[in-house]
A and B are shown apart, each in its own frame.
Chain A
Amino acid sequence: MQYLDFEQPIAELENKIEELKKLSNVSDGVLDKEIESLNKRVEKLRSSIFENLTRWQRVQLARHPDRPYTLDYIYKITENFVELHGDRYQSDDKAIVGGFATIDGQSVMIIGHQKGRDTQQRQYRRFGMANPEGYRKAYRLMKLAEKFNVPIITLLDTPGAYPGLEAEERGQAEAIAKNLKMMAMLKVPFLTIVIGEGASGGAIGIGMGNEVYMMENTWYSVISPESCSSILWKTWDYKEQAAAVLKLTAPDLKELKVIDGVIPEPLGGAHRDHDAAADEVKKQILKSLKKLKKMKPEKLIEQRIEKYASMGQWKTVK
């Protein structure tokens, strides 16, 4: 388990408990009482730290290297996953995965950004940063879902669309723009969940659900705190402040009415208990599908367009 900087006090206590446990095995359980009291202390400590997370700390949790990724959720939540590949023009982008599956016996199309777990996998998945081919694959899969009247679920987890030379050459902007316009008119129920990082156009490029949820320790913004710092403060050093002013956490977006709700995570973050995190995500999916599947295609489109058309805040001056 990797500990984040602000989790150091937890790490120290947990290491101590581990040591005592080893000793306890040797000494026939005389240390059990002490271990129990330390366990209580660590739980208390964890609660107090996680009740008062700063926005930057949530960004750190959203990027935790042990956090469950799209395929982890897919394998834990769905049955019969059939992964589908390729945009039919250029290649198969590994930074976005998707395919048909069933969830509790219901057919779904599930698509998400995919990050890698180790160095090799991270490069293979391009750190979850998709090229135009990724967005075009998502386009194709969403239209397939519509054709077969299957609800769509997208899981967002990207530090942004890939800012590379070939990405520009092959129309990164055009690929994302086309997706936005297409997603508005989809005739099937469409649910979006931010499971990690939701950075800018790269995130919303597959994220125009009828309902949008964020997991408790995720972020969603027009720009990453680091890039925001470098542009507005002209240095990378103000990422904490940038995270604070960008108001990019799940509770922030709920308050801004950009998302429909926050999906709770196990104490300490989703990476602490993948099964528990997946259970919560599944619960929300089933709840949302039940509601959205009752809506007729025209109503789904109307609701979606109305939802996004009403986004933004301004004043009206006569």
Chain B
Amino acid sequence: MSWFKRKDENIQTNTRKEMPEGVWIKVPTTGETIHKRELEDNLWVDPLSGYHFRIGSEKYFDIIFDNGKFKELGQEIQPTDPLNFEDRKKYKDRLKEYQDKTGLSDAARVGVGKMNKLDLVVACMDFSFIGGSMGSVVGERLGIAIDHARENKIPLIIISQTGGARMMESVLSLMQMAKTSAKLAQLEEENVPYISYMTDPTTGGVTASYAMLGDFNIAEPGALIGFAGPRVIRQTIGRDLPEGFQTAEYLLEHGFLDFIVPRTKMKAKLTKLLKIVLHKH
């Protein structure tokens, strides 16, 4: 029996690739199969190997907020196609396609609720939406989350899962790095705690802005975290990368994370930490 019991049994999975359909699910690292119910009860972490299946905002909100209850902010902010971008596909069509496929409107959502009775703002990215890429909507919704935390003096958690900035919005995506960092600088002035929780993967412009700016930088075990992608680095240095390069464990060893916590212990540990810094004993 896990410590956490799902209240809502009818939650649909967002992503097909990471969340395979069917009752028996294969763990990619071990090749073993596990029953879906058991995996769900363990917050999509394989109890045997500790492998963390990728989950999206819906499940993270469900895990973090008491009784899965929260108020969503920023839903009115919706993507457009500011540059009329077209590669092999039109960006407009790509947006529509991902919206239909995932049921999400863009790659980040914001929820306000309580975590073990503590008020909390959570912004969570969704990798299933165009690789969790950061464009104008992600930047604006994060901005809303940060402002809400600052104005109401409520702690903020940002959960990252992303390949980086969204190419289809070019320089406007790049500017979201400046935008979110500037807003975090304002949050800092108010001494409101900000926890950056990095999941697999967290790379590119997101790592080089808000993901690395937490008062506490925390990650899920085994998450890929870096600035440049492993393929690019391999090309640059012309040889294979060392074992475990750019994993959460590697970052911890090099001093860029405060700690790594498995998803199943995340809520309890973050609560403990926040209670100390908020003097709520």
Contact = CB atoms under 8 A, between A and B. Distances in A.
Nearest to B139: A312
Residue among B79, B175, B212, B256 with most chain A CB within 10 A: B175
B210 interface: yes
A168 B228 contact: yes
Contact of A178 (B82, B172, B176, B213): B213
Contact of A316 (B78, B237, B242, B254): B78
A219 B166 CA distance: 18
A29 interface: no
A237 interface: no
Given A168-B228, A245-B83, A308 B178 contact: yes
Interface in A149-177: 161-165, 167-174, 176-177
B30 to A, nearest CB: 28
A201 B246 CA distance: 18
Nearest to A306: B182
Interface stretch (B54-62, B85-93, B116-124, B262-270): B85-93
A241 B82 CA distance: 17
Given A172-B208, A205-B208, A256 B171 contact: yes
B80 interface: yes
Given A180-B177, A313-B136, A220 B212 contact: no
Interface residues of B, number: 61
A314 B210 contact: no
A162 to B, nearest CB: 8
Nearest to A247: B83
B137 interface: yes
Nearest to A228: B167
A24 interface: no
Residue among A170, A228, A246 with most chain B CB within 10 A: A246
Nearest to B225: A173
B212 A168 contact: no
B132 to A, nearest CB: 15
A309 interface: yes
Nearest to A220: B171
B278 interface: no
Nearest to A208: B178
A124 B88 CA distance: 39
Interface string B164-197: 0111011111111111011111101000000000
Interface in A7-51: none
Contacts of A201: 174, 177, 204-205, 208-209, 227
A183 to B, nearest CB: 8
Given A201-B227, A305-B186, A313-B80, A221 B181 contact: no
Contact of A165 (B177, B186, B205, B241): B241
A168 B246 contact: yes
Residue among B172, B176, B208 with most chain A CB within 10 A: B208
A308 B179 contact: yes
Contacts of B209: 176-177, 180, 201
A200 B76 contact: no
Nearest to B196: A177
B256 A174 contact: yes
B246 to A, nearest CB: 6
Interface residues of A, number: 58
A292 interface: no
A165 B254 contact: no
A177 B233 contact: no
A300 to B, nearest CB: 13
For the residues of A in contact with B, the DSSP-based class is: helix
A205 B186 CA distance: 18
A180 B182 contact: yes
B136 A314 contact: yes
Nearest to B253: A169
Contact of A314 (B78, B166, B254): B78
Contact of A164 (B83, B173, B184, B237): B237
Interface in A247-300: 247-248, 253, 256, 258
B211 interface: yes
A274 to B, nearest CB: 27
A59 interface: no
A315 interface: yes
A176 B208 contact: yes
B174 A222 contact: yes
Given A163-B236, A165-B241, A177-B210, A309 B176 contact: no
Contacts of A317: 76, 78
A177 B86 contact: no
A61 interface: no
A232 B86 CA distance: 10
Contacts of A178: 212-213
Contacts of A170: 254
B111 interface: no
B205 to A, nearest CB: 5
Interface of B: 76-80, 82-83, 85-88, 135-137, 139-140, 143, 165-167, 169-179, 181-186, 188, 204-205, 207-213, 226-228, 232-233, 236-237, 241-242, 245-246, 254-256
6 contacts: A162-B236, A165-B245, A177-B207, A201-B227, A221-B170, A312-B140
Given A208-B178, A248-B170, A317-B76, 12 more contacts: A173-B212, A174-B212, A178-B212, A200-B165, A201-B174, A204-B177, A223-B170, A228-B167, A241-B87, A246-B83, A312-B175, A314-B136
